[in-house]
Chain A
């Protein structure tokens, strides 16, 4: 079967086969090429230097990527808002290091690591993030994956915006050129930017099965979307995607081996949301969707169709920013028409569904001390062939909880080293109640869901 790995939040899925100098050169050229193609910008200090704001202005808990209403508007504004002073260099960097422990040793020894208790430099990222002209901004991330030992283009979002008035209300029109459906979304409830914001490279994610909008296409596609934001109230967006040629994926460091195949020409993404910023509190509620087909093997005709429909909402109590509560949730319903898989005997059923629910709530004190709890469930129709090896009962079902406590000492107005020094130290525990179809012996070799419980202690810094 083709299983879709969920994205690693706030991080890179560096999927390349190697990080040769040639690849690095090509990656740099690729970035330049992307920028040259346009006439001329979530958690990066270059944004803070550009706006003159502290990180806490845009991010809950003074560290990304969870956006405050101010951060939402900054992103919709194309990363172009500034304090009006020149001379700002839109470059930032980020490093994540961690200690990882699973309840039971990993089933297999990682290529670069041990079967348990791994100490890792998870990633080092370089960002081009900020205003490139009055109407063009970018957020482009290149990442060295310290676990996979590869370097690749990570999240990328280049925007052009224009603001005018319609019916006497401020209205923003924008174009976004990006490489992952949802990476351009300004709200915290979209899965790309949802909790957990960083997670263990040695962990088990949220199960092996995931919807196509939840990370399956990241970095392997290019997307162009047009959006509008009217009266700080209504957000609407439509877009389309094309899969990157295999050679381009290789040049960007993504590798050929994990090519997703070819997207159908009628790929459509859409998004509609209502947003309200009451200063003391804020919320958004919306719907989104991705309709596409995917030809897994580019050399053999036959494709599978995916229709994703999502509902999401979030609420923030901001008050005086001393006590901040947030709640985010999303539900994605995916209808799969597995024409290619059914014809090849990879699936027993031509049609199936896969549903994902993600909810989370957080509390931050003094924009420094944070606690977050998340609940995730993935449920789908059974298919013995599609969900065979590594699954129990022909079921993709996975569920569990994530708990996180973190400390963010800087990122406020009077913080030491502001706006250059930024740090989050955290401890995260993922607890599985079901994994790949069963609570116990899901892999047929005696491994239980709880054996995958993962402790992830991390240090996340950016400058």
Chain B
């Protein structure tokens, strides 16, 4: 009996110790890693820090082409996009398809899981 109840006990201990919160934090952690691998060469997460691409600080909910002192392609400026999570997901998935003629030299992130982690991380930047 004791052996059978062990898994339930471990699950209870995990929940009491904040395991669910850690699972969410792990997604953010992975999202931060995805950002470092895929995005950080051209984008900063610091407010007001533009590299070749604009800062991604407070990106969620922002209108495309709205960062002062950043340079954008004409198609992106004219796109009328507001960066909702869905729009960001579509853009990161395939930038050339989402904004034809855009200047971002990025082939896209195929993994839906990694995009979800990245989005979770970007949503914290505010």
Using a CB–CB cutoff of 8 Å, the interface residues on chain A facing chain B are 51-54, 57, 68, 70, 73, 81-85, 232, 279-280, 318-322, 413-414
With CB as the reference atom, state the residue of chain A lying closest to B73. Answer: A84
CA distance A280 to B49 in the complex (A): 24
Instruction: A321 to B39: give the CA distance in the assembly, Å.
Output: 12
Could you tell me the distance in whole angstroms from the C-beta of A311 to the nearest C-beta in chain B?
Answer: 28
Q: Give which listed residue, A53, A85, A320, A321, contacts B42 with CB less than 8 A.
A: A53
A52 close to B38 (CB less than 8 A): no
A279 touches B37 (CB 8 A): yes
> What separation, in Å, do the CA atoms of A414 and B40 have in the docked complex?
12
> Which single residue of chain A is at the shortest CB-CB distance from B71?
A84
Contact among B33, B37, B50 for A52, CB-based, below 8 A: B50
Are A53 and B37 touching (Cβ within 8 A)?
Answer: no
A232 CA to B38 CA, complexed, in Å: 16
CA–CA, A100 and B33, complex, Å: 41
**Is the CB of B87 closer than 8 A to any CB of chain A?**
no
Residues of A within 8 A of B126 (CB): none
Measured in the bound complex, the distance between the Cα atoms of B72 and A84 in whole Å is 8
A300 to chain B, nearest CB (A): 53
Taking residues whose C-beta sits less than 8 angstroms from the other chain, chain B's interface range is: 10 to 19
Closest to B107 in A: A232
Interfacial chain A residues near B49, Cβ < 8 Å:
413
CB proximity of B47 to chain A, nearest CB, Å: 13
0/1 string, B91-123, CB within 8 A of A gives 1: 000000000000001010000000000000000
Q: A280: nearest residue on chain B (CB-CB)? A: B37
A residues within 8 A CB of B37?
279-280, 318-321
B22 → chain A, closest Cβ, in Å?
A: 20
Q: Which of B60-101 contact A (CB under 8 A)?
A: 71
Chain A residues near B36 (CB-CB < 8 A): 320-322
Write 5 A-B pairs (CB below 8 A) sorted by A numbering.
Answer: A53-B52, A73-B105, A83-B51, A83-B71, A320-B36
- How many Å lie between the Cα of A414 and that of B49 in the bound state? 10
Known: A83-B71, A85-B71. A70 touches B50 (CB 8 A): no
The interface residues of chain B lying within 8 Å CB-to-CB of A73 are 105
Given A51-B51, A53-B52; 13 other pairs, CB 8 A cutoff: A51-B52, A52-B52, A53-B41, A81-B52, A82-B52, A83-B52, A83-B71, A84-B71, A279-B37, A320-B37, A321-B40, A322-B36, A413-B46
The A/B interface has a contact count, at CB < 8 Å, of 45
Q: Which B residues fall within an 8 A CB radius of A?
A: 33, 36-38, 40-42, 44, 46, 49-52, 71, 105, 107
User: A321: which B residues are within 8 A, CB to CB?
Assistant: 36-37, 40
Q: Are B41 and A57 in contact (CB under 8 A)?
A: yes
A interface majority secondary structure: loop
Closest beta carbon of chain A to B65's beta carbon, Å: 12
Residue of A nearest to B69 (CB): A85
Instruction: Give chain B residues whose Cβ lies under 8 Å from the Cβ of A70.
Output: 41
Q: Cα distance A320–B35 when bound, in Å?
A: 8
Q: Specify which of B33, B46, B71 is in contact with A320 (CB 8 Å cutoff).
A: B33
Q: Determine the residue in chain A with the shortest Cβ distance to B36.
A: A320
Q: Is the CB of B41 within 8 A of A52?
A: no
Give the residues in chain B near A53, CB-CB below 8 Å.
Answer: 41-42, 51-52
Specify the chain B residue showing the minimal Cβ separation from A413: B44
Most chain B CB inside 10 Å of its own CB: which residue of A57, A82, A83, A318? A83
Shortest beta-carbon distance, A412 to chain B, in Å? 10
A residues within 8 A CB of B105?
73
Residue in B closest to A73 when the chains form the complex, CB atoms: B105
Chain B residue nearest to A83 (CB atoms) is B52
Q: Cα distance A51–B50 when bound, in Å?
A: 10
CA distance A318 to B40 in the complex (A): 12
How many angstroms between the C-alpha atoms of A54 and B40 in the bound complex?
10
Smallest beta-carbon distance B8→chain A, Å = 37
Closest 5 CB pairs of A and B: A84-B71, A320-B36, A52-B51, A57-B41, A83-B52
Q: A85 — which chain B residues lie within 8 A by C-beta?
A: 71
Shortest CB distance B95–A (Å): 13
Chain B residues with CB under 8 Å of A322's CB are 36
CB nearest to A56 among chain B residues: B41
Among B36, B52, B71, chain A packs the most CB atoms within 10 A around the CB of: B52
Q: Which residues of A contact B44 (CB under 8 A)?
A: 413
Bound together, the chains give a CA A175 to CA B42 distance in angstroms of 27
A22 to B38, CA, bound (A): 51
Minimum distance in angstroms from B105 CB to a CB of chain A? 8
For A52, the chain B residues whose CB sits under 8 A away are 50-52
Query: What residue in chain B is nearest A322 (Cβ atoms)?
Result: B36
Q: Please give, as numbers and ranges, the residues of chain A lying within 8 Å of B41 by CB-CB distance.
A: 53, 57, 68, 70
Distance to closest chain B CB from A144 (angstroms): 33
Report the Cα distance A318→B37, complex, angstroms: 8
Specify the chain B residue showing the minimal Cβ separation from A319. Answer: B37
Q: State whether B38 touches A279 (Cβ < 8 A).
A: yes
What is the bound-complex CA distance between A322 and B36, given in angstroms? 9
- Of chain B, the residue at the smallest CB distance from A77 is B105
Closest to A170 in B: B105
C-alpha spacing A85/B72, complex, angstroms:
11
B110: min CB distance to chain A, Å: 11
Q: How far is the CB of A317 from chain B (nearest CB, A)?
A: 11
Tell me the nearest residue of chain B to A414, going by C-beta: B46
CA distance A52 to B41 in the complex (A): 10
